[in-house]
Amino acid sequence: MSNQIKIPRGTQDILPGDSEKWQLIETKARELCERYQYREIRTPIFEHTDLFQRGVGDTTDIVQKEMYTFTDRGGRSLTLRPEGTAAAVRSFVEHKMFGNPNQPVKLYYIGPMFRYERPQAGRFRQFVQFGVEAMGSADPAIDAEVISLALRLYQELGLKKLKLVINSLGDKISRTAHREALVTHFSPRIGEFCTDCQNRLEKNPMRILDCKADRDHELMRSAPSIIDYLTDDSRNYFNKVTTFLTDMEIEFEVDANLVRGLDYYNHTAFEIMSNAEGFGAITTLCGGGRYNGLVEEIGGPETPGIGFALSVERLIAALEAEGAELPVKEEIDCYLVSLGDEAKDYTVGLLHQLRMAGFSAERDYLDRKIKAQFKAADRVNAKYVAVLGENELKEKKINLKSMADGVQIEVPLESFIEKFKEICR
């Protein structure tokens, strides 16, 4: 076994038994998006590196430290997508969706993302994100809609210990005034901060507030709050968002320290966190915000937008922390038990007929004894077992047993499929 090849660090195999949970979550997300009228977009796994440098921001940890970037045979720099928003916006611009008669354009995606970071509980180097983007409207009502969609997904999957935190990052005037205040605040003692924060001071000082290495520094606690620099328009916008959330009976907390550090973020920013005991030190499940300015950055016309993204892995970890069980159905309609070579061969065609009639069905492929076949039927939670032996085959009948109550009936082979349909109805 010394030559055994193992899975790369920071990735995982999702095995049968667990993959059904993923399918259920993805199905629920798709159903919810249909209710809210968001339509699926599928973008490439890799994009030109420049897209993420411009779309995510070259001062972010994602771009500076976490991207999987490579040069292809044509000398082009390509990157495995680290997040979904930039690619969705690139597609929005490239396909001129801003010209669609139905506005805003409401999109969702589910797919793998890649970041080179230290693997830990609920965090992987390849992970799956579900996210939505709404582009083309500056109405604060759509901010509330996006937040409610994210929260609703968690709630409908069974999570109860959730906390919604929101903040306003203001408009460009608000951000500029706050930026100057941050530079003034941090400049005299910036040498006490990490190298990343020192580099961010002039480029994007709001990112300092997001630093995990220096989060306990006393200047962090006394840093100027964006709330104090909001213009009247920004304050009114934020008040409308919070009013709409209240109208929707959605509980929230306003946290002036919540920032989304990218330059194009403005107005609404939000995170959904888990309050479950034992979930871990990093409690954030989902993050999102308004990004007026991103479409222009990627080459499109002035277009407001808002979205969120969440990790399916962290969602599953939160479900486990709360002990919430997903209603995964692990059962089949019928298991065919056979006795004797002729009967065994006959079940091949019968199994096919069951499946063609829309039923989940299985048979033995290992030449097991009848007792072992019944055990196999139990293991796959068969609702019914159909038993066919050499005598039954001669008499052209089959025994059908309900595994729930043990009731057994005899059914003519020629009408077995129709009879099974009636029983299952």
The pLDDT score that the predictor gives to residue 342 is 96
On the question of a cis peptide bond just before residue 104, with omega within 30 degrees of 0, the verdict is: yes
Which residues in 357-423 belong to E strands, given as ranges?
361-363, 382-389, 397-402, 408-412
Rounded Cα distance between 380 and 333, Å, is 10
The pLDDT score that the predictor gives to residue 8 is 94
The pLDDT score that the predictor gives to residue 305 is 97
State the first-to-last Cα distance of the chain, in angstroms, to the nearest integer. 51
**Which H or E element spans position 351?**
helix 341-356
The pLDDT score that the predictor gives to residue 14 is 96
The pLDDT score that the predictor gives to residue 260 is 67
Rounded Cα distance between 83 and 52, Å, is 9
Low-confidence residues of the chain, pLDDT below 70? 1-2, 58-61, 121-122, 260-264, 281
The pLDDT score that the predictor gives to residue 78 is 97
The pLDDT score that the predictor gives to residue 208 is 85
Domains with residue ranges and CATH for the chain: 19-171+231-322 (3.30.930.10), 332-424 (3.40.50.800)
What does the buried/exposed string (b/e) look like for 84-114 if buried means 16 or more CB atoms within 10 Å of the residue's CB?
bbbbbbbbbbeeebbeeeeebbbbbbbbebb
The pLDDT score that the predictor gives to residue 44 is 98
**Which H or E element spans position 352?**
helix 341-356
* 31, 34, 42, 132 from 37: Cα distances, Å: 10, 5, 16, 11
The pLDDT score that the predictor gives to residue 262 is 63
Q: Give how far the C-alpha of residue 290 lies from the chain's centroid of Cα atoms, to the nearest Å.
A: 19
